[in-house]
Each structure stands twice: as C-alpha cells, then as structure tokens.
Amino acid sequence: MEATPSRPKRRSRSGCTECRQRHRKCDERKPTCSGCLRSGRQCVYTLRLSWGGRPFSKSRFGECLRNDPGLVQVPFNPTSDSSYTGDTINFDRTEAERSLSAAVFPLCPQRVNQAPNSVIPRNPYELQWIPPAYRFLLDHFMSCTTLSLSCHSMIQRTYCSVLIPMALQTSHLFVALLSLAATHRICLGMDQSITQLDWLKFTSLRQLQAALAQPRKELNDAVIATTLTLCTADIVSDGRSPGSWRSHLHGTAAIIAEHLQNARNSGSSLSEATLLLWRWYLSIETITLLSGNLVISPGSRTVLQLRRLIGNDEIDDLTGFSTALIPIFGDINLLAVESGLSGEQQCPTGTDDISSIPNDIIRERCFRMIENISSMLASHEPRFRPTIDASLSSLHRIDFAAVDETYHHVALLHLYRRVLNLPSSSTLVQKSVQQIIHRVSAIHFLHEPCPGVAVLQPLFAAGCEACDAADRDDVRTLLSRIESQYGMGNVRSARAFLEDLWIMRDESGDFEGRMRWDKVMVEKGLDILPY
C-alpha cells in the first residue's frame, strides 16, 4: 500500500523571537529550537499582538496631524532602539498636556507613570501622553460621531482636519470633543460611564469659562468650536440637558456678532477653520428657527450676516438644504411670532382660540411666501458649492435634491400651521406631509457620510401633522431607521414626542388636527431640536 504523501507544513508565525528577527525558518521545538541550539542563542517564544488597520501615519488621525500647519516636522535620532528609523512630528502640547495632566488624567486609572529620565524614545506623533481611554473616545469622535454629523465625506474630513489639531492645543475643546463622543456612545447603547461623561462636560465648561474670562483682541476659533461642540452634545443627548443647548448657541452668536461688528471679512478671506465653524453655527441656528419657540432668537441678525458672507443660494453639503431657505425660515419665525401676538390681542382673556385667524397684513405676507416657495419647488434645480460639485456621485446628487425639497415643504408646513392656523387635515398640509414621507423614503441611508443624516427635521415636521395611521407608521419606521443608523438621542426624543402628540389628539377626538405641536411642546416644557 502506497504511503499517503504528507501535507506540506503550513507557514507559521509562532516561531521564536531569535528566528523571527533573523528571518529564518523556525522548527518551533520546545524548549529550544534547532536554530538557537546550533547558534547557542537563548530561545524565547513570545506572542506578538497585531491590532490590524492602517499605520498611524496613514490613518485619519495621522492625516489630521500631518496636514496641520501648526505642527513642525523635525528629524528624530533614536539612541536606544536601532530598529526605529524615520521622522516624527513635534508640536506644541504644553497647554493641553498641563491641563489634561491636572484635570483629565486622574480620571483614568489605567495611566502608566513613566520615569522622567526614561531612555525609551517617546514619539509625540502617537500622542502617548493621552490616556488610552481618551484616545479611544477621540477615535470614536473621528470615525463615528463625525460620520453621523456629515452629509458628505468632505465635511467629515474637514471636521477632523480642523477640530483635532485645534483640540490638541486647546484643552477645553479637547475635553468637549471627548464629551460629545461619550454622549454619542451612550445614545448608541454602547458601554460608556455616565460619571465620566458628566466629569468631561464639567471640566470643559470650567475651562471654557476661564478662557472667556481672558481679554481677547481677535476671534478665537477654538472658543467657538468648544461652544458648538458642547451645544451639539446637548442637542443629541436624548434630553439629559434640556434647553442647555440654547445657552451655548447664544454664546456663540454673541462672539461671532462681536467679531462681525469690528471686522470687514469677505467670505473668500475666511480660513478653512473659521468657515467650517460659521457654517456649523449657521446650520444649528437655522434649525432653531423651526423649533416652534415663539421668541426672536438673539442670533437672527447674525444668521443673516453670515448667510450673506458664505451663502450663494446653493445646497450646503453641511446642512443638506439650500442657503436660499435661511432667510425664508427667519421670516417664517418672525411671522409666527407676530401671528401669536395677534392671537393674544384677539383673545385678551387668555383663552386658547386655536382657530384664530391672523390679521390681513400677516396673511398677505404669508401668501406671498407660500407663492415664492411653491415657485422654488416648481423650478427646482439643485446647485452645489463648486468645491464639492465635481466630487458628488449621482446617488448623492439625487439624495441631496430630495433632502432640499423636503425642507421646502417644511417651510410650507410651518406657514400653514403656525401662521395661518390651518388644521392638519387640510389638503394643503397633507400634500406636504405625503411629499416629505415619499421623498425621505427614497433616500439612501448609507454607512458613510450621506445626505440621509439631515432628514430628522423634515420627518419631525411631517410627523407633527400626520393624521393617517399609515403615514404615522411610515414616520415611525423612518425615525427608527435613522436612530439605529446614526445613534443620535434627539431622534429618540422626537419620536417620543410624536407618539405623545398622536395619543393626545386621538384621545381628545381631535381628528381634524387643530391641536398645534408647538403649543404642546411649550406646555410640556420641552425644547427638542430635530437637528
């Protein structure tokens, strides 16, 4: 009987350290392999862990550091490790490291204390001075949180390339980014310490207050970045800090307004960092105009000034809708406020006459706006900023156009309901509700930056006016989908509010839908921002 040929030995990576370093085959005999026995070397078997992924210098984090003009490349001359060659990055980390050493490091019990005169070279490019727990949060911010905030990959890259280098030199921004990442992890249902999150928020606020107390002669981008980061964290925190996001937003508006009074900037002269921060602020402040709060925002004038600087009636890849809608949303909010005051004058006894009709002047202005928006929808031709126009895929173009169209219908819904006081069952209202649901249902929700991250506001507006059970089910399904996809807590808050609103209408027999969502939100003391 012919012997079965033995299979060739598979290549092994479990050889001894000596054989691996000399790149020779090891027969893996224990306790001493043949190679080490012949050469008289000590035979040691060790387990080498490899975490996979790209080298740090090629990662998004490494790219942010490499491209930052504030980081200076210097040669590194290793003295004790002959296996390391190449260049490293040297950067000024004194302020951030001092503050974090005094404030953040004590939170991390896993910190390894190194001797000050250690001969082991430390590569600052790898940010080993940051505790592992916080490097982990920073990585989550760059890879997950920014994805859930970005309609386009260029926006995500800009978030990382602007905020990360700035945070490494500014402690309050650094801790704020960690706070936002921790908030996002909690909203996703991931393992995250609430105590750690509260401490991060407290630390960032305390350091921000100290920074604001210092006299400043010019615009401080890092301060604006911190206030916007804290604002965003509170918005998406599933109601853990109700209303606190407004104070951060008002603070940002005040800082920018003060700068605009003393500066003569044009949009073309803004740095990449300043442009991103102003667009970020503009996106939040614009959605605030649709929050149903009958108060003229302190940032309304700032919004119009910024829009003139950076808006050219194009679809903004940060917000998902055209900048042409920004002044329209401002006018709608103003009309809603005036309509509310007019209603109070008609009902001086304090009775809630929800069917009251605004005066003729308000109605005429409202009809002109409806006609204008309807005309924009009829001749809808999406235009994009030149910097991203060429990079957009056909899929993203279609989805951006759909998102932009839904925001036009949001404007119409606010005019119908908050200004004209039409019931939800009105044919005009239901037409916009069904258009929003139809357009959002066709949008692609991808595991990458995409226009789908911007549909919460349109879905919330449609849900507030949905009368038909099928429409409500569609809104429920879509909200659940974007919550599971992007993990923002305000999606959960918006869905919970809609469920309560629908129950209130059904139980009170309000089948026409005269109960207004904005008044219900005020009565409940809620301040949800579908951003």
Q: Which residue has the tokens 């009809």?
A: 367
Structure tokens at 92: 């000024």
Q: Choose among 526, 332, 511, 305: nearest CA to 420.
A: 332
> What pLDDT does residue 51 have?
40
Structure tokens at 330: 């401002």
Count the Cβ atoms, other than its own, within 10 Å of residue 262.
9
Q: Was domain 14-49 assigned CATH 2.70.98.10? A: no
Structure tokens at 356: 């009251």
CA dihedral 111→117→120→126, nearest 10 degrees, is 50
Percentage of the chain beyond pLDDT 70 is: 73
> What pLDDT does residue 101 have?
44
CA distance 336 to 418: 6
Residue 73 has phi, psi (to 5 degrees) of -85, 125
Cα dihedral sign for 201, 204, 210, 216?
Answer: negative
Structure tokens at 444: 């692609």
Q: How far is CA 132 from CA 26, 104, 137, 146, in A?
A: 35, 12, 9, 20
CA distance 173 to 176: 5
Name the least confident of 171-180, 190-199, 217-226, 302-311: 302-311
Structure tokens at 238: 């599933």
| Each residue's pLDDT tens digit, 160-202 | 999 999 999 999 999 999 999 999 999 998 999 999 999 999 9
Q: Choose among 289, 503, 235, 284: nearest CA to 411.
A: 289
Give span(s): CATH 4.10.240.10, the chain.
14-49
For the chain, the maximum distance between any two Cα atoms, rounded to a whole number of angstroms, is 109
CA distance 180 to 298: 25
| Each residue's pLDDT tens digit, 388-407 | 888 899 999 999 999 999 99
Beta bridge partners of 73: 89
Mean pLDDT, rounded, for 518-524: 91
Q: How many helices, marked H, and strands, marked E, lie in the chain?
A: 22, 2
Task: With cut-offs at 50, 70 and 90, classify the pLDDT of residue 412.
Answer: very high
CA distance 469 to 467: 7
Percentage of the chain beyond pLDDT 90 is: 48
| Each residue's pLDDT tens digit, 477-489 | 999 999 988 989 8
CA distance 228 to 249: 7
pTM, 2 dp: 0.76
> Is 230 in contact with 212 (CB distance < 8 Å)?
no
